[in-house]
Amino acid sequence: MVIQLFPLWAVLLSVVAFFLPALFVDLKAYIVPLLTLIMLAMGLTLSLSDFKRVLQKKSAVVVGVALQFLVMPVAAYAVATVWGFDSDLTVGMLLVGSVAGGTSSNVMCYLAKGDTALSISMTAISTLLGVVLTPVLVSLMIGQSVDVPVAGMLLSLVKIVLIPVGLGVLINTFLPGVVKKSEPAFPYVSMFAIVLIIAIVVALSAPKLADIGLVVAAAVVLHNTIGLILGYWVTFLLGFDARVCRTIAFEVGLQNSGLAAALAIKFFTPMAALPGTVFSVWHNISGSLLASYWSRRPLVETPETNASKSDVTS
C-alpha cells in the first residue's frame, strides 16, 4: 500500500518543499548519492540471466530500445519547441527524453499483465546504453546554443549508473541469499530516495515554479502520453502480441526522470531539473492508471485480441 501511494507521497512532499524550501535546499549535495542508491537497488534486483533473456527475444528488445532512444528524445524536442521553452527547460525536456526507461516500468508491466522478464531486460539494457546515449543525444539535439558537457556527463553516468548497477548485479550473483532477505526493503528505499530528490528539486525551483509549473506540467503530460501511445501502437503494427506491446509501451513512456533531474542539477540549473521532477510524479500516476485499465483487459488468448493479431499479421 505504501508503494502504491508513491505519487501521493511525492505530491505531498513537493507541496511542503514549495512552501518551506529552506528545509530542502541545503540537501542539494545529496541528490547524486540518493540516485546512486536507487541504481544500486535496481542492480540488486537484476541477475545475469536478465541480460541473457535479450538473446531469447532479440526483436522485441531491439524495437523497444530503438523506440526508447528515438521517440522520447524527438518528442521532447518537439514539445519544447512548440511550447517555446527557453534553453534551460529545453535541456530539461531533452534530458528526460534521452535517459533510459525507469524502474517503475517493471512494476507497471507486472500489474498490466505484460512480459515482466522482458521489461526488466529492456530496463537493464537501456540503462547501460543510456550511459553513452544520454549525453550524446542531448548534445546533438540541443545544438550549439547550449554548452553540453558530454565528457562530464558520461563520466557521471558511469559513476551514478554503471558502477552501482554492476555492483548490484555482482552482489546478487554471488550473494543471492543475502539479497533475497533484504529484497522487500528495496522498493521502500527507492521510493524514499526519489521522493526526497523531487522535494529538493522543487525547493530549488520554488521561486519560479509558481509562474511556469502548469506550463511544464502540460508539456510533461503530453511527452509522457506520446511515449505510451507510440510505444504500444508501433509495436502493435509490427505484429507483436498484446503482452509485448504493453511492455514496450511502459518501457518507452516511463523514463528514469530522477536521473534526468539529477543530471540537470549537476550540469545545468535547477530550472532544467523541473521537467524531470514533474515527470517523476506524473509518469507514476499515468502508469498506474494505464496498468489498472490493462489489468482488466484480456490478452491474446481471447477471440478479440486474436482477431487483432490476425489483422496485423495478415
Pairwise CA distance, residues 133 & 149, whole Å: 13
Pairwise CA distance, residues 291 & 122, whole Å: 18
Residue 35 near residue 195, CB atoms below 8 Å: no
Rg (the chain; Cα; Å): 19
CA angle 5, 11, 16 (to 5 degrees): 125
Give residue 300's pLDDT.
52
Q: Write out the three cell numbers for 32.
A: 547524486
CA dist 314 to 239, 240, 246, 269, Å?
9, 13, 21, 51
Pairwise CA distance, residues 212 & 12, whole Å: 19
The candidate with the shortest Cα–Cα distance to 72, out of 298, 300, 283, is: 283
Give residue 130's pLDDT.
87
Q: Write out the three cell numbers for 69.
A: 532512444
User: What is the separation, in whole angstroms, between the first and last Cα of the chain?
Assistant: 44
Give residue 203's pLDDT.
86
DSSP structural state of residue 273: G
pLDDT in tens, 279-295: 887 887 788 788 878 87
Grid look-up 521537467 returns: 275
Cβ neighbours for 43, distance < 8 A, ≥ 6 positions apart: 164, 165, 166, 167, 168, 169, 171, 172
Pairwise CA distance, residues 279 & 212, whole Å: 15
- What is the number of H-type helices and E-type strands within the chain? 15, 0
The candidate with the shortest Cα–Cα distance to 245, out of 200, 195, 312, 194, is: 312
Cβ neighbours for 187, distance < 8 A, ≥ 6 positions apart: 3, 107
Which of the residues in the chain have pLDDT under 50?
301-314
Residue 101 pairs with which residues in a beta bridge?
255
pLDDT in tens, 100-137: 887 778 777 877 878 877 887 888 888 888 888 999 89
